[in-house]
């Protein structure tokens, strides 16, 4: 069965939503990145940086920010490959980042272990069907180019839920109930859902992309964000 997957990280692992033929939709929780790469997915969109520069900013992040007027901070800047040496030491990571020209936000530091886990398994060939995405870009696209209110506010959560319901996610109430006690939050589920829609669009040949002027990192990984 050809499946399109959307993947978002949460405190204890990863949450994934799959779209398949005849409107089949389901969600799953995964403890490790290895489990994601074991999926027989025709296309997978994941909210994690893939392809890291040695220094400076990724062009795709700057381009993504330009697509989110008034909500640019939802896309992190300054995630660089040398920071993966400081997964357990925020002060050291921030010191290195400042020497390189930009300090590291604590929120960005906390996703470094997940970035490292995906990076360890990623190859240029795998990027054909295992792609970086960003839920804020997908939601904004579905909203006519306008970013939704913050997902950290009730208004923003409701806007996302309403939009997803219109896109065919009719089981959200049941899924949210099933998530209780797992550590995954409603916004994690909503992000995974909208990334699954982006993955399906990619399979259909209609996905959009911002990139870094064709640049690849030191491992040959393309620095690009699909949405």
Q: Phi/psi at 141 (nearest 5 deg)?
A: -60, -45
Do the Cβ atoms of 64 and 225 come closer than 8 Å? yes
State which H helix or E strand residue 42 sits in. Answer: none
What's the Cα-to-Cα distance from 211 to each of 58, 102, 194, rounded to whole Å? 8, 21, 20
Average pLDDT over residues 29-41: 97
Q: How far is CA 208 from CA 40, 224, 226, in A?
A: 23, 10, 6
Q: Tens of pLDDT along 60-89?
A: 999 999 999 999 999 999 999 999 999 999
Question: Looking at the predicted structure, is the pLDDT value of residue 223 above 60?
Answer: yes
- pLDDT over 90 (residue 31): yes
Judge if pTM exceeds 0.85. yes
Measured CA angle at 125 (ends 76, 5), to 5 deg: 60
pLDDT band for position 1 (50/70/90)?
Answer: low
Task: Name residues whose C-beta falls within 8 Å of residue 72's C-beta, 6 or more positions apart in sequence.
Answer: 65, 66
């Amino acid at each position: 069965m050809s499946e399109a997957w959307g993947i978002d990280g949460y405190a204890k692992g990863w949450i994934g939503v799959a779209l398949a033929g005849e409107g089949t939709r389901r969600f799953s929780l995964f403890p490790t990145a290895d489990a994601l790469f074991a999926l027989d997915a025709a296309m997978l969109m994941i909210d994690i940086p893939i392809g890291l520069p040695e220094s400076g900013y990724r062009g795709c992040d700057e381009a993504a920010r330009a697509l989110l007027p008034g909500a640019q901070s939802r896309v992190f800047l300054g995630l660089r490959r040398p920071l993966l040496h400081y997964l357990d030491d925020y002060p050291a990571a921030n010191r290195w980042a400042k020497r390189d020209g930009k300090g590291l936000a604590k929120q960005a530091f906390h996703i470094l272990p997940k970035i490292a886990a995906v990076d360890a398994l990623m190859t240029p060939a795998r990027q054909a069907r295992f792609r970086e995405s960003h839920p804020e870009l997908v939601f904004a696209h579905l909203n006519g180019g306008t970013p939704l209110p913050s997902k950290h506010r009730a208004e923003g959560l409701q806007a996302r839920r309403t939009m997803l319901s219109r896109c065919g996610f009719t089981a959200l109430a049941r899924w949210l109930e099933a998530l209780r006690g797992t550590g995954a939050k409603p916004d994690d589920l909503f992000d995974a859902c909208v990334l699954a829609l982006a993955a399906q669009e990619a399979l259909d040949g209609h996905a959009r992309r911002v990139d870094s002027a064709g640049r690849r990192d030191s491992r040959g990984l393309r620095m690009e964000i699909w949405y």
